[in-house]
Amino acid sequence: MKTMMKTIKKAISLSLLMMCGVASFAQSLADAKKAIDAEQYQKATSMLKTLVANQAKGGENFFTLGKVYLLTEEIDSARAIFTNGTTVEPKFALNYVGLGQADLQANNVINAKTNFDKALQLGAKDYLTYLNIGRAYLAQKNPDYAAALPMLQKADELDAKDKDPETFLALADFYAMQKKNTEAYPQYLRALDINPALYRANVQIGRMYKEAYAFAEAETELQKAVAGDPNYGPAYRELAELQMQWSYFEPASGVAKKASALENMRKYLDLTDKSFDSRLRYAQFLVYAGDFVTLEKEVSGLNAPDANNPKTFVVLRMRGYSAVENKNFTQGLEYMNQLFARTQDASRIIGTDYLYLGKAFQSTGNDSLAVVNIIKAVQLDSTKVDALTEIGKKYFDAKRYDKAAEVYKKVVGANAKNPAMAMNYYWLGSSDYFAYAIADRDKKNPSKQMLVEADTAFSNLLKLAPEYELAILYRARIAKLMDSDPPTGLAAPFYQQYVQLVTVTKPEKATTPSVLRGLIESYNNLGALSIATDKEKAKEYFNKTLALDPANANAKDNLNYLNGPVAPAAPVKKAPIK
Q: Which CATH architecture has domain 197-290?
A: Alpha Horseshoe (1.25)
DSSP designation for 121: H
Q: What is the pLDDT of residue 535?
A: 92
pLDDT at 571 exceeding the cut of 70: no
Q: What is the pLDDT of residue 11?
A: 41
As a residue count, the chain comes to 578
530 within 8 A of 537, measured Cβ to Cβ: yes
Of residues 84, 88, 115, 93, the one with CA closest to residue 102: 115
* Alpha helix stretches (DSSP H) within 38-143: 41-54, 59-71, 75-88, 94-105, 109-122, 127-138
pLDDT tens, residue by residue, 425-441: 999 999 999 999 999 99
Quote the strand ranges of 134-210, DSSP E: none
DSSP designation for 366: -
Q: What is the largest CA-CA distance in the chain?
A: 154
Domain residue ranges in the chain: 197-290, 477-578
State the Cα–Cα distance between residues 532 and 551, nearest whole angstrom: 24
pLDDT tens, residue by residue, 143-202: 999 999 999 999 999 998 888 999 999 999 999 999 999 999 999 999 999 999 999 999
Report CA torsion sign: 344, 348, 351, 356: negative
Classify 327 as helix, strand or coil: coil
User: Is 305 or 322 the better-scoring residue by pLDDT?
Assistant: 322
Residues 6+ away with beta carbon under 8 Å from 280: 302, 311, 314, 315
State the Cα–Cα distance between residues 260 and 249, nearest whole angstrom: 15
* Alpha helix stretches (DSSP H) within 250-308: 254-271, 276-289, 292-300
Calculate the CA dihedral of residues 393, 395, 400, 406 and round it to 10 degrees.
-80
State the Cα–Cα distance between residues 66 and 79, nearest whole angstrom: 7
State the Cα–Cα distance between residues 356 and 74, nearest whole angstrom: 29
pLDDT at 332 exceeding the cut of 70: yes
Report CA torsion sign: 313, 316, 317, 318: positive
State the Cα–Cα distance between residues 190 and 168, nearest whole angstrom: 7
State the Cα–Cα distance between residues 142 and 109, nearest whole angstrom: 12
Q: What is the CB neighbour count within 10 angstroms for residue 175? A: 20
State the Cα–Cα distance between residues 511 and 523, nearest whole angstrom: 16
pLDDT at 487 exceeding the cut of 50: yes
CA angle (192 as vertex; 190, 194 as ends), nearest 5: 75
pLDDT at 13 exceeding the cut of 50: no
Q: Say if residue 487 is preceded by a cis peptide, omega within 30 of 0.
A: no
pLDDT tens, residue by residue, 354-369: 999 999 999 998 988 9
Burial of 505 (0-12, 13-18, 19+ CB in 10 A): exposed
State the Cα–Cα distance between residues 386 and 412, nearest whole angstrom: 11
pLDDT tens, residue by residue, 71-113: 988 899 999 999 999 999 999 999 999 999 999 999 999 999 9
State the Cα–Cα distance between residues 472 and 121, nearest whole angstrom: 79
State the Cα–Cα distance between residues 202 and 17, nearest whole angstrom: 39
Q: What is the pLDDT of residue 17?
A: 37
354 within 8 A of 377, measured Cβ to Cβ: yes
Query: What are the φ/ψ torsions at residue 171 (nearest 5 degrees)?
Result: -65, -40
State the Cα–Cα distance between residues 285 and 299, nearest whole angstrom: 12
